[in-house]
Amino acid sequence: MQEKFGAFEEKIGIQFKDRALLREAFTHRSYINETRERGLEHNERLEFLGDAVVELSTTDFLYKKYPKSDEGDLTSYRAALVNAVTLGNLGIEIGMEPFLLMSKGEAKDRGTKAREIILANAFEALVGAIYLDQGYVVADAFLKKFLMPKTEEIVKKELWRDSKSFFQEEAQEHTGITPSYKVLKEEGPDHDKKFTVGVFLENDLIGTGEGKSKQDAEQAAAADGLKKKGWGK
């Protein structure tokens, strides 16, 4: 395990003084419950710390990068940058997934919303571990190297928008109708569901979207509806 962590340290460009912190960052509560390994802590305290470091670092970065954006837009940019989808995918990109310490049941549950959240939490725990081991400057540099480059795509593609809220505002302004959502299709086993949802204005189907949760599918449907209606351009 120590040798494997050495390869990970090389990949992220950080050599830990205390590798026990690094191992803790990858340790999910289910692993502790299953193995009862002595002297090993799960990563939730590190996640709590890392969440605060990520928030400060991203807030500082966005404040300086977008001097003309108001508080509301900056808050939306930050929310899109640090949500579970972005951080979970980033965890995969930097090679965290093979190092996760989980119960056998959790380890089998790959490619799901639950795994995405575990990875996002582990990423924040990793940032917390870097902060404790190396200090804020190194943790901030790590985030600037791996997380902040996602900002351009988020802003350019307007991934920061809450599509459901925006679609509702536009629908009420243009038609006076409050949109409704309906699951059109549900497929896959319980641990790996995929939902197809439609957004309607009264009886008219305006847009459709897919997602691994109903909420994600509704957001995708709203985004599709905005595009098809040409609203918000």
Catalytic residue among 47, 51, 106, 133: 51
Catalytic residue among 24, 47, 116, 124: 124
Would you say 160 and 79 are in contact if contact means Cβ atoms under 8 Å apart?
yes
Decide if 124 is catalytic: yes
The CA distance from 177 to 99, in Å, is 49
Decide if 51 is catalytic: yes
Would you say 174 and 231 are in contact if contact means Cβ atoms under 8 Å apart?
yes
The token pair at 186 is: 């549900």
| Helices (runs of H) and strands (runs of E) counted in the chain | 12, 3
Q: How many CB atoms lie within 10 A of CB 139?
A: 25
The CA distance from 228 to 171, in Å, is 12
As annotated, the active-site residues are 51, 124
